[in-house]
Amino acid sequence: MRRVCTGIVAALAVCLFMGQAVAEDLQVGFVYVSPVGDAGWSYAHDQGRLAVEAMDGVSTSFVEAVAEGPDSERVILNMARKGYDVIFATSFGYMDPMLKVAGQFPETVFMHCSGF
């Protein structure tokens, strides 16, 4: 689980280093497949999110217990429409919906932690 947290923090640090956050906070959204209270996959990702949120110039939010498929596409699309700078999806089943949404929002950074 520690690798998950480290990966999230490293990925977001790269975005900050590349100048994504200039005058305003970098807004980062996380999509979880289960509740964050479960001691497992989503919990580990949320620990990473909390570490990222502690960075200067970053604000985060999350949506938990998002079903793979159309529901995940709806959540990811909603975050993109709200202007999130980075959207991090945490389930293999989010890959295709994320790719579909990413094509519509070229200025948004989409990160997917598993898949091809």
Nearest to 27 by CA among 107, 112, 114, 115: 107
Sequence spans of domains, the chain:
2-11+24-112
What superfamily would CATH give domain 2-11+24-112? Response regulator (3.40.50.2300)
85 pLDDT more than 80: yes
Regarding pTM above 0.85, the answer is no
Mean pLDDT of 53-77: 95
Taking CA atoms, 77 is separated from 48, 98, 105, in Å, by 22, 8, 9
pLDDT band at 113 (very low <50, low <70, confident <90, very high): confident
